[in-house]
Structure 1
Amino acid sequence: MNTFYKTLKATFLVALFTTVFVACDKDEKEIIPEPKIEEIEIGEGNVKEITVGKDLHIEAKVTAVATIKEAKVTIKAEEGTSDFEVNQVYDKLVGKTSGEIHSHFDVPLTAKVGKYAVSIVVTDNLNRTKTYQQVITVKAKEETPMVVKWHKMEISFIEGHSHGVTATKGYFHGNPEIPEVKYLKPVQKIVFENKEGKIVASENNKPLRWQARVEETKGLSLYGIKIVYFDAEGNRINEQFATDRHQHFFLAQDITKNVNAPADKVLPQPSQVLSFIYRDTQPESEDFNKNSPNLRNVKDPVGLKGIFEPDVPHVNFNLRIVLAHFTGENSKLINGEVRAFNQLPVSIEKETDVLVPVHVYTQRASKKYLEEAAKEFGVTKADIDADENIILEVDPHGEGASPVYM
């Protein structure tokens, strides 16, 4: 009998201690607070908006009694892509029970204007996560009004090839115009007119049709540009813009999928869409002379001539062309260096500001070229093949070809 009671007593004690231990363990887990995010400020004065060209201030206090496993801030455009995107991890807070997030994120001038989702996330070592989410607004900076000093602007985009061309050496050989070609025109022209201060695009303007470069290569899908300005009497007036106070800038914006884009196509950032080199000549009225090089000083780009190369296939975008006029304290150079072709100053007088639609409908040498060209132009593959045959009959180096050199 004593043995029975001893066994019963032992069983009771084990059950009691197990219950107490489990209860204590449960209580201990329950009393460990979850991570917290407090004292949040987004934008100076917590205004939750920022202007392009400035920096966005973000501050918050994060707490995790179970210690911090990860703390991060992410910022992403709610629609489409943008040059402004943040994924900042704060390694210095790992292992601590509390700390501060305090950052200033530069919002580039090329950032997309609109709504952005901001997330502040902290995860503790029990894998519990606290997230704070807020929508902010990125605003455009007020720009200096445009002062138009020309009556007509003609832009020629010329398909061609490289002879070792760079910003300082070699040259670009542009293909001649071929009137018989219906779709794959080697020379595509765009015209704008100044009508009482309002710039109007010609009804004959069509989207530029370009082919992107081959992956992992450069210099195999080139398009030259020549800009010519005229006054009301039809006189060529480029010389008044070929100065150390003028520079054309070229920006890709409003990026969308081309008709040939696959369903899972990821749109690129504006800065990834195309490359460009300035190839201005001195005097500006002459083409590049390969026998007697006459390139303008590379420290003084103007952009009346230059060479594009599309870097990404299957995208449509607007090519924004801006002629900036540097006056007063504004300098054409930044710390003695040339501004990039897409580095447009915000507070600058503009004498040209136009949009040219561009369709990069295929990748050069693609096996799907005929199919994609036909789909882009809304014609048959036989129509595209006919154009190709006409082009192949013309020797761009032959007599009477009238090529363009840059």
Structure 2
Amino acid sequence: MSAHDRLVGAATLKRLRLARGWSLADTARAVIGKATEIRQPFDVSVASVQRSVARWESSTRPILPGDRYQLLLAHLYAYGTDGRVCLGSGSDFAELLDALAHLGESERRLEELRTLLVRTATDSGAGLLALLGPSVEGALSRALDDPCRLDEGVLDALRLVVADVNGRVGSLPFVRLQILLAPVIESCRRLLGGSVPDALRLGLQTVAAQAYTLGGRLAFETRDDEASRALYAEATNAAGAVGVPWRRSVVHMSHALVTLYSTPGLGAAQQLVDAAVRDARAGGSVTIRARAHALQAEIAARRGAAKHARAALALAWFDMDADRDGDPAGTSFSTAHLRGFEGVTSLYVGDASDAHDYFANSSAALRAPRERVQRAIVTTDQALARIRLNEPESAADLLHGCIDAASSMGGRVASIRLKRARRQLRPWRTEDWFAALDDHLIDSLGA
């Protein structure tokens, strides 16, 4: 951080304080009070904290608040002057994170603070309102009362909330994400049922398709298959109304993956994958086409159709190697994801040793918080490959980490894969390490 950046951060902290009418001593008392409120009291005098606040706001050599103070400031500024949680753009909390960034805090730490406060929002029941900016809440209420009053600001806010919730898959349990997303889904339904301005209808359909798709996935993960099917049907209709085929392909692929685990056989999932490939081939996103071909390869491999699986996988790699500059979905699927599909293909119609290496490489590359769910799934598949290589105890070692991940997120796919891996280990059920794995599964997942 440059000296100028640090001064900007210090000035932002001072502006936040003054906007609430607080003196340095008032801020110190508020910080100490918040520490007691969240049950993290510390034995520090008001004068001592006041000196720290002054150092953060110094106009010559400001310093970055320590981790504990950052946590307390985050809890302090997450609440508006009306006492409600507000984390969206333009909120005091967003301004605080910007100040900390200018003072030199890492993106990872700032994301941890935001995730923690989003969790707090779901605990308090704030939900959607917490993720909206302070100026958007009223505009959304007016638009819901009269859809003709929908404007770009509200549409952008809804779009950002969907992206925010989607970005927290892997960081927050699925049930919490449902709490945050449910009001967006209902808002989209109400707005689409009214006379929204013609110029905004396609944009609203796009946001709705994204919200319904994510909602369908979250409903599946929390074992509400009926709601999941209904949401995917709404998502398919909304994406079709947009008139951009690759967007409907995304819906079909998400729906196919949950169908694979909620419907017996491969037929229903196969139909959805075929529809996804048709829409993806209609153009618009090479990345989505690669993802559709990769999913096509997995379904073929599960059917034992080795030739078709390898042909689809070759098409996926061809697409990934193409020029994807400017691709509207360029970051939605990566080579790390594709290696996972390559591993699945090898697991079912190839060599278990190759599959293991593909899974290991994929898992090593999937390190973002958003990829935690996928990493747990890939690592479970890696354990299956070890079982086939007659390395059962080593496989069990991998599965312990997968159990912890599945337990913290409440994910259904990871749990299903874990149970299948456990069944594959039954020939070694008299071993002590098998008993330890069983105990871990029962304690964490109840199975």
Q: Work out which of the two has the higher radius of gyration on C-alpha atoms and give 1 or 2.
A: 1
When normalised by structure 2's length, the TM-score is 0.24
When normalised by structure 1's length, the TM-score is 0.25
Q: Flag the structure with more relative contact order, 1 or 2, with Cα contacts below 8 A and sequence separation at least 6.
A: 1
